[in-house]
Amino acid sequence: MVWDLESGYIKGRMKASHTESLLSSSTVRDRQSQIQPKETTGLFPLAVVMPWDRRTDSQSAKWRRLEREAEEQRKLDREKYNSVDQYLLSGDQQVVVCSYFSHHLNVFSVGSQDHLHTLEDRTSLLILHTAALTHPGGHLVLANYCQAQRTPYLTLWDLQKGTVRKRLKNEPGVCCVAITDDASRVAFGVSGCNKLKVWDPFRRNHKTISGYASLRLGGSNQLYITEGGAKAILLAGELSLWDLEACNVLSVLSPDAHVQCLTLLGGDGNSSALLLGLSHSPALITVRLTSQSHGGVATATNVRDDDLFAESSSSEDGDD
């Protein structure tokens, strides 16, 4: 639902259409009805069916296989009516992607309030806990696990066509991910090994950047790409700035209070201002990247407490 915050009334509703899924299940039933089983007892457990097995199957084996396929399709159809688990809103506020803790995602247009696409993967749960959406809403990248192949993937979806654009195979432990506006670069953190990885999906290129000594990836981490894909900002206990081209850590900010949450202001991938929420205060803090560090990890300079790293509280009046 879209709410008008000025009037306090519902402005519109976006509802998914699942006609294609219901048609696909009816197709399976039609195929099944064309085969009359010789016997209906002694069903065997599920097994992998090879092409040559299909050619030599008896009528009863074909019926059992189609029955299993129909039951799997019915389970997927029932998932279409799950409640919303999570959603991502594009930076321009025109595209919404919703997950339902199921094997599908729905893509909606906020402007027209239409259901654009249903993204489906029969072998993977598609959830948005580790995912990122481009600012114009044209692409989605998310971590998923293929149950059939027992393989973790990082998958790039084209939301304009509703199809998979690229996949990066064998990437376990992805705990945070970010993407450029044109989807030409993806950065993601890997828990356990405490590394940041960079993937350029359209150039079939990826590289690894080693973290610093106190870095602890995992849990609630946030990652943003800025300067057109040249830099990355990571919140993992500490706040760090990474050079994705030179493959090193530029600086680390370690405030006395724990940083609870982080947002990149502007959201266009070129902003140098951050909005922080700290554990010791209800006020929000803005932080600007005021200098460049060359190699290694930069340390904080001794400045006044009320002007640490050119910061200002959101509760104060001013041009900042």
Residues whose CB is less than 8 angstroms from the CB of residue 115 and which lie 6 or more positions away in sequence, other chains included: 14, 15, 16, 17, 106, 107, 108
In a domain, 200, yes or no: yes
Greatest mean pLDDT range, 37-51, 126-140, 254-268: 126-140
Q: Tens of pLDDT along 252-261?
A: 988 788 888 8
Query: Is 271 within a domain?
Result: yes
Binned at pLDDT 50, 70 and 90, residue 70 comes out as confident
Mean pLDDT of the 148-169 span = 94
Domain interval for residue 309? 173-320
Indicate whether 66 belongs to any domain.
no
Per the model's pLDDT, the better-predicted residue between 10 and 38 turns out to be: 10
Report if residue 11 sits inside a domain: no
The predicted pLDDT at position 42 comes to: 33
- Mean per-residue pLDDT, 157-178: 94
d(C-alpha 135, C-alpha 62), whole Å? 48
Tokens of 182: 């044109």
Task: Answer whether residue 97 is part of any domain.
Answer: no
In a domain, 52, yes or no: no
Residues 186-211: tens digit of each pLDDT: 999 998 888 999 999 999 888 999 98
Q: Is 61's pLDDT higher than 80?
A: no
Q: Helices (DSSP H) in the chain: which residue ranges?
A: 19-33, 51-56, 59-79
Are the beta carbons of 67 and 91 closer than 8 angstroms?
Answer: no
Answer yes or no: is 286 within a domain: yes
Q: Ranked by mean pLDDT, which of 19-33, 46-60, 157-171 comes out on top?
A: 157-171
Residue 313 has pLDDT above 50, yes or no: no
Interacting residues of 308 by C-beta distance below 8 A, sequence separation 6+: 255, 300
Number of domain units in the chain: 1
Confidence label for 38 from pLDDT (cuts 50, 70 and 90): very low
Residue 135 lies in a domain: no
Q: Which residue has the higher pLDDT, 224 or 265?
A: 224
Q: What CATH code is carried by the domain that includes residue 223?
A: 2.130.10.10
303-224-120 Cα angle (round to 5): 160
Confidence at residue 30, expressed as pLDDT on a 0 to 100 scale: 47
